[in-house]
């Protein structure tokens, strides 16, 4: 069984992504064992110009669809979920730069992004509020035409290796926490001090360390300063995050499922897997059902997001129904794909499922996917959806 990734608009790009994913798979075990950041994988992505994959080429090429970006995320994550997530979070930030209110500075950034292929880190976490996007406790200090940043962030994926940063802050000490601004900064403008390490069960290659950030930037580096941050977050950052994260988790689960099927089909493993077992077939069917359920829900949410965006119905992206659905995607994907991987371990058994091995990295996928429900915790999304259901409750035709 092979899942199909054929999308005509980016066939050449997907070929490059497939080749990159194979290299990432060869390195993934080492990065997992060492807890090391996949620098060479990021270098490969930069070399292939995949850090600007969502931007139309300067020669007039078409902008890739979100479906195509989702396929890329799946493929990269099938080789190394840590690398896939780093790339997905980067593309999420690129989309913010694309979809903000455009000006000379933002146009300049997008042009540089295509030429320089920087890695962008997102800085949204703070002590006491986690990664909640719509609030910030850290004030900027204005000094003439400059803004001073002094900010702790307990978790910044790839923070020690990023070239650019998008940072949430509030305009001043007197501003309410709900008055959030997004600022852009380059590494050379900042002093970065690590304040915590990344010793975790899974996703050990993301380098999601805690960082203290200090530095001065120009006022023009406020992203979308002419508009409220909340629409930018609700219309872009949140749905793009849920869609691309879910695509990564799905790609990792699909990858180990395909590996498991190949293992079972291998004649050399006939003594290990009883092909007369009805239980084996029932378990395989259950896992496929789980993968397909997430796959179909992800496809539907991509369609809804692209339809609303392409038709200019941006207010629909802020509506309760869409937000319930996009939150449900993240909850469904994170919980269901972890459950599917757990069941695959039962099928593969002790040697190939529970034991660390590079032939079928189920044990690593299990640990990695356990993190999915914790990233912007599902309890927080369920709480939000419960409240939204009191507004959007009519389900009958």
- Three-state SS string over 166-213 comes to EEEEECCCCCCCCCCEEEEEEHHHEEEEEEECCCCCCCCCCCCEEEEE
**Phi, psi at residue 393, to the nearest 5°?**
-120, -5
Q: Tell which CATH classification among 1.10.10.10, 3.20.20.150, 1.20.58.760, 1.10.540.10 matches the domain 8-116.
A: 1.10.540.10
Domain with CATH 2.40.110.10 in the chain: 120-223
Q: CA-based Rg of the chain, rounded to a whole angstrom?
A: 21
Question: Is the pLDDT reported for residue 177 higher than 80?
Answer: yes
pLDDT of residue 4: 41
pLDDT value at position 376? 92
pLDDT digits (tens, 9 = 90+) for 256-270: 999 999 999 999 888
CATH of domain 229-389: 1.20.140.10
Lowest mean pLDDT among 7-16, 134-143, 336-345: 7-16
Contact between residue 94 and residue 52 where contact means Cβ atoms under 8 Å apart: yes
Spatial contact of 151 and 212, defined as CB atoms under 8 Å apart: yes
C-alpha torsion sign, points 300, 239, 50, 292: negative
Indicate the range of 104-108, 158-162, 352-356 predicted with least confidence.
Answer: 104-108
What is the mean pLDDT of the segment spanning 220-227? 74
Single out the residue of 113, 110, 218 nearest to residue 163, CA to CA.
113
Q: What is the mean pLDDT of residues 129-137?
A: 84
Q: Average pLDDT, stretch 211-221?
A: 94
Query: Does the pLDDT of residue 6 top 60, yes or no?
Result: no
Instruction: Indicate the pLDDT class of residue 301, thresholds 50, 70 and 90.
Output: very high
Residue with tokens 């989702």: 70
With bands split at pLDDT 50, 70 and 90, how would you rate the model's confidence at 226?
A: low
The pLDDT of residue 57 is: 66
44 pLDDT above the threshold of 50: yes
Least confident residue range of 88-97, 122-131, 236-245 = 122-131
Rounded to whole angstroms, how far apart are CA atoms 305 and 224?
A: 21
| Residue 147 three-state SS | strand
What single-letter DSSP state applies at residue 223? E
Percent of the chain with pLDDT over 70: 95
Instruction: Supply the pLDDT for residue 2.
Output: 44
Q: Count the residues in the chain.
A: 397
> CA-CA distance, 6 to 71, in Å (whole number)?
9
* Burial readout 23-62 (b: 16 or more C-beta within 10 A, e: otherwise): ebbebbeebbeebebbeebbebbbeeebbbbbbeeeeeee
The residue-averaged pLDDT of 210-237 equals: 87
- Name the class of domain 120-223: mainly beta
Tens digit of pLDDT for each residue in 50-97? 999 999 764 456 778 999 999 999 999 999 999 999 999 999 999 999
Q: Structure pTM? A: 0.94
Strand pairing class (164-169; 120-123): parallel
In the chain, how long is the greatest CA-to-CA distance? 77
Within 218-277, where are the H helices? 229-232, 238-265
- Domain ranges in the chain with CATH number 1.10.540.10: 8-116
**Where along the chain do the CATH 1.20.140.10 domains lie?**
229-389
Is residue 12's pLDDT more than 90?
no
Confidence at residue 67, expressed as pLDDT on a 0 to 100 scale = 95
């Amino acid at each position: 069984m092979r899942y199909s990734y054929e999308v005509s608009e980016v066939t050449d790009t997907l070929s490059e992504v497939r080749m990159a994913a194979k290299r990432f798979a060869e390195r993934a075990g080492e990065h997992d064992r060492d807890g090391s950041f996949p620098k060479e994988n990021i270098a490969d992505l930069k070399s292939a110009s995949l850090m600007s994959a969502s931007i139309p080429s300067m020669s007039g090429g078409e902008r890739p669809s979100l479906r195509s970006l989702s396929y890329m995320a799946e493929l990269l994550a099938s080789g190394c979920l840590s690398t896939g997530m780093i790339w997905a979070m980067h593309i999420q930030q690129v989309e913010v730069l694309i979809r903000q209110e455009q000006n000379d500075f933002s146009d300049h950034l997008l042009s540089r992004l295509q030429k320089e292929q920087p890695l962008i880190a997102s800085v949204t976490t703070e002590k006491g509020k986690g990664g909640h996007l719509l609030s910030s406790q850290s004030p900027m200090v204005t000094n003439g035409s400059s803004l001073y940043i002094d900010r702790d962030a307990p978790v910044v994926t790839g923070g020690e290796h990023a070239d650019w940063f998008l940072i949430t802050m509030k305009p001043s000490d007197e501003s309410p926490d709900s008055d959030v601004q997004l600022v852009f900064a380059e590494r050379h403008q900042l002093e970065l001090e690590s304040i915590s390490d990344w010793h975790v069960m899974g996703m050990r290659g993301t380098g999601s360390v805690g960082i203290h950030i200090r530095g001065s930037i120009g006022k023009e580096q406020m992203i979308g300063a002419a508009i409220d941050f909340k629409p930018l977050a609700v219309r872009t950052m949140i749905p793009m995050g849920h869609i691309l994260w879910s695509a990564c988790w799905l790609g990792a689960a699909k990858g180990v499922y395909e590996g498991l099927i190949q293992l079972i089909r291998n004649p050399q493993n006939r003594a290990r897997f009883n092909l007369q077992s009805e239980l084996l077939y029932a378990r395989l069917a259950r896992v496929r059902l789980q993968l397909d359920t997430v796959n179909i829900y992800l496809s539907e949410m991509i369609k809804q997001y692209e339809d609303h965006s392409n038709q200019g119905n941006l207010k629909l992206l802020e509506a309760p129904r869409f937000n319930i659905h996009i939150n449900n995607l993240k909850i469904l994907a994170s919980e269901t794909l972890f459950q599917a991987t757990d069941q695959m371990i039962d099928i593969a058994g002790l040697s190939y499922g529970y034991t660390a091995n590079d032939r079928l990295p189920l044990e690593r996928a299990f640990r990695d996917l356990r993190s999915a429900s914790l990233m912007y915790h599902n309890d927080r999304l369920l709480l939000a959806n419960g409240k939204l259901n009191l507004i959007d409750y009519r389900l009958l035709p």
